A and B are shown apart, each in its own frame.
Chain A
Amino acid sequence: MPRTTYVVPPTYLPLIGCAALFCLAIGFVSWLHQLHYGPYLAITGFGLLLLMMFDWFRTVIHEVRAYQLDDDPVIDHSYRWSMGWFIFSEVMFFSVFFGTLFFIRVFILPYLSGAIPEGTMTHFILWPDFKNIWPLLKTPDPQAIAGPKAAMEAWGIPAFNTLVLLTSGVTITIAHWGIFKKKIKQAVLFQTLTILLGILFLYLQVQEYAEAYHHLGLTLGAGAYGNTFFMLTGFHGFHVTLGTLMLMVILYRMLKGHFTPKPFCI
């Protein structure tokens, strides 16, 4: 069964992508170094990156529809696999911060408080009054780095937001079924609901951050607790933002009738 091959034509998109990342990178660092052109360069780079991505996805979607590439199982599987591996890379990225949290709680703080190895001198020599209490409100050296006044209450916004995300998993599954059953109204309705839940999550997270900064003294720089809290929730929030944007694009394409019950990926 010989298959004809679609030969991808030459493309200028990656070049734009490189230029965009280049400007973003240089601009961001210049910004940190208080050079006046920094922010402008960074924002230009970021905008260019968004435009490039928009154009790239548009090109791929047109190409797939024009040549019915999604009927080709090879291409279909390649897209699925690559998404899977991309998610794996994200898992590894997040595991850095989870690993950090683990290492801090299981090794560093017990070391500093003299718990392991038994009778270690580190504790007596460095900070003899340091106690290992998590959440870490009092850092080993509070003069140098002050801890937060209080920790984030788990049963407030965080618990509710967890519920929001879990629910959004349910709604998007219903939307998915809607496509399979050719009930486009159901699909559109639940897709919209999912997007709204995503936005709700982000709104609440902003509230949570505001409370942390203004009332709890819980900042990114507030010792190990603040560091890991903001690093993990921050990158997570960033992913929710991107995910919500993708869901919006999918909604738009649903309305244009791009999706049919056949197993699809693009």
Chain B
Amino acid sequence: MSHEHPSPNGILGHIQRWVFTTNHKDIGTLYLIFGFSMFFIAGFMSLMIRAQLVQPGMQLLDPATYNVVITMHGLTMIFGALMPILAGFANWQIPLAIGAPDMAFPRLNNWSFWLLPFAFTIAMSTLFVEGGGPNAGWTLYAPLSTNYGPPSMDYLIVSIHMLGISSILAAINIIATLLNCRTPGMSLMKMPIFAWSWMVTAFLLIAVMPVLAGTVTMMLTDRHFGTSFFNVAGGGDPLLFQHLFWFFGHPEVYILILPAFGIISEIVPTFSRKPLFGRTSMIYAIICIAVLSFVVWAHHMFTAGMLLSTMIFFMYTTMLVSVPTGIKVFNWVATMYKGALTFETPMLFAIGFISMFTLGGLTGLMLAIAPADFQYQDTYFVVGHFHYALVAGTLLSMFAGIYYWVPKWTGYYYSERLGKLHFWLSLISVNITFMPMHFLGLAGMPRRIPDYGLQFADFNAWCTLGAFMFGFAQLIFAYNMIQTMRGKGQKASGQVWEAAQGLEWSVESPAPYHTFTTPPQIKSET
């Protein structure tokens, strides 16, 4: 019944192994490799954007192409890079963290992953469809995407449906695993915090991916079947699109940040050599953020037109989110307080995350204030805000997680020297890239434009400089990781990090193909 480590022979054997695999570690690896490949593709697009904006005037892209590039950059980063990479962490770490032999539904797991390359083949093919790629921005606002959308929008819609199926199946799988496959004796409250963060994230995914699917379906019927959901002439409204999109969209940004919180909450205690401060409150904070995320969506629409009372409601709920978020930040800091800190690369990235993400949260708070947002909406200030949350937040946490767990995955340490170089270059260049955007926005530079007034020239040049530096730093990362995977580093023990706690460190490194086929014992404390 049980299967030995597959020993593929020949090219065909290799392809079979990876395409037909039902092993959570294989699938985790596939997710990570796919995610980082898309990260480099979407990153290339962002460098095209920054090259265009290096100085006033038209250089690289014409305005129509520019719109296509920013649209595909956003969509690819969110659905192609960040979500799959986080799912890769989930696949690798959840069974290891809870002492399960695999995910609850290994076959389904394979399908969740392999839908992604197929969906992105369709999404990317839009760039070559007659009439140009989708150009409405990643938010796909009607009527830009309906009445005025190019034919390629239809391909994008069906690819979003496929991505939705993939995410929902993966999320159901993750929840089922977490609820049923924990090793005996591990109660929900004893479950590692990374697993907890994914439990809540999976819930969010199941709740909002169908909303996106339904919304793009209405877009499709508006485009081809004569409905007028987003057309006032027939009794619909483009505003309806915005409401539906952001009902999906705001929880979606928490889908991108909650697993990052989970990763950081694992790393900080290890390198502080102290248990996580306020573990229970951390769990409740995650749940609280998730619940609140359903009632804040209209903060994206303050200038779109709504009743004053509605505006006030969404303003206060949005500000409320910063309470549980603040709890998390304070707890991380309190974990480090008086700890025996060491600063290996994962810890550096974790500290980078905490400080940078806090900045993103603070600018979020500024945006939450409706009257102030009238000024900020659709300026570079918003771009600055969400890149602090997503790049200096989620992405840095992913690097932290990769450096933290890669010795467990491959059996080898990465090069600490290159890791630190990667960290400092990334941290500095992220700030050079995105900090000036806040000032540009406050000074009135609108977002989503290929050209700008002369007064914005200096700051934009800085942004571009930072962006290229950041891109370069990621090549160091890629090199470091390839070397580690090829076994060039120092050999890692099972424990890997001196003070790391948790079941995943009880197996040898690299983690064997099948782990915990009999459930492990957990220590009684914690």
* Chain A positions near chain B (C-beta within 8 angstroms): 1-15, 17-19, 21-22, 25-26, 28-29, 32-33, 56, 67, 74-75, 77-78, 81-82, 85-86, 88-90, 92-93, 95-97, 99-100, 103-104, 107-109, 111-112, 116-117, 126, 136, 139-141, 144-145, 219-221, 223-227, 231
Residue of A nearest to B175 (CB): A85
- Inter-chain CA distance A248–B122, complex, in Å, is 35
Question: How large, as a class, is the contact surface on chain B?
Answer: 35 or more
Given contacts A82-B104, A88-B207, A89-B168, contact A32 B236 (CB under 8 A): no
- Other-chain residue from A8, A111, A140, A226 in contact with B22 (beta carbon distance below 8 A): A8
B-side contacts of A85, CB under 8 Å:
171-172, 175-176, 206
**Once the chains bind, are A7 and B102 in contact (CB under 8 Å)?**
yes
Does B213 belong to the interface (CB within 8 Å)? yes
- CB neighbours of B107 from chain A (8 A): 8, 11, 13-14, 56
Q: Could you say which of A21, A96, A136 contacts B162, with CB atoms under 8 Å apart?
A: A21
Contact A227 B307 (CB under 8 A): no
Main secondary structure of the interface of A (DSSP, over half): helix
| Shortest CB distance B118–A (Å) | 5
Q: Is the CB of A220 within 8 A of B168?
A: no
Q: Is the CB of A21 within 8 A of B234?
A: no
Question: Is B233 within 8 A of A145, CB to CB?
Answer: yes
CB neighbours (8 Å) of A111 from chain B are 237
Residue of A nearest to B155 (CB): A29
Query: A103 touches which one: B176, B225, B243 (CB < 8 A)?
Result: B243
Check A82 against B154 for contact (C-beta < 8 Å).
Answer: no
Rounded to whole Å, the gap between the CB of A136 and the closest CB of chain B is 5
A92-B206, A93-B213 given; A112·B232 CB < 8 A: yes
A26 surroundings in chain B (CB, below 8 A): 122, 155, 158
Distance of B8 from chain A, by nearest CB (Å): 11
Q: Assess whether B229 is in contact with A81, with CB atoms less than 8 Å apart.
A: no
Query: Once the chains are docked, how many angstroms separate the CA of A97 from the CA of B213?
Result: 11
Which chain A residues lie closer than 8 Å to B224 at the CB level?
32
Indicate which residue in B16, B176, B226 contacts A82 across the interface (CB closer than 8 Å). B176
Q: Report chain B residues within 8 Å CB of A144.
A: 233-234
- Whether the pair B209, A89 counts as a contact (CB closer than 8 A) is yes
User: Which A residue sits closest to B310, measured CB to CB?
Assistant: A107
B517 at the interface (CB under 8 A from A): yes
Q: How far is the CA of A99 from the CA of B245 in the complex (A)?
A: 12
Q: Give chain A nearest CB distance to B122 CB in angstroms.
A: 6
**Inter-chain contacts of B235 with A (CB < 8 A):** 104, 108-109, 112, 136, 139-140, 223-225, 227
Q: Please give, as numbers and ranges, the residues of chain A lying within 8 Å of B243 by CB-CB distance.
A: 103
Are the CB atoms of B244 and A96 closer together than 8 Å?
yes
In residues 132-160 of chain B, which contact A (Cβ within 8 Å)?
151, 154-155, 157-159
**A21–B114 CA distance with the chains assembled, in angstroms:** 11
Q: Given A25-B162, A67-B1, A92-B206: A139 and B234 within 8 A (CB)? A: yes
Report B194-232 CB contacts with A as 1/0, cut-off 8 Å. Answer: 000000000000111111011100100100111111011
Question: Contacts A145-B234, A231-B221 given: A14-B110 contact, CB under 8 Å?
Answer: yes
Question: What distance in Å separates the Cβ of B515 from its nearest Cβ neighbour in chain A?
Answer: 10
Q: Is the CB of B226 within 8 A of A220?
A: yes
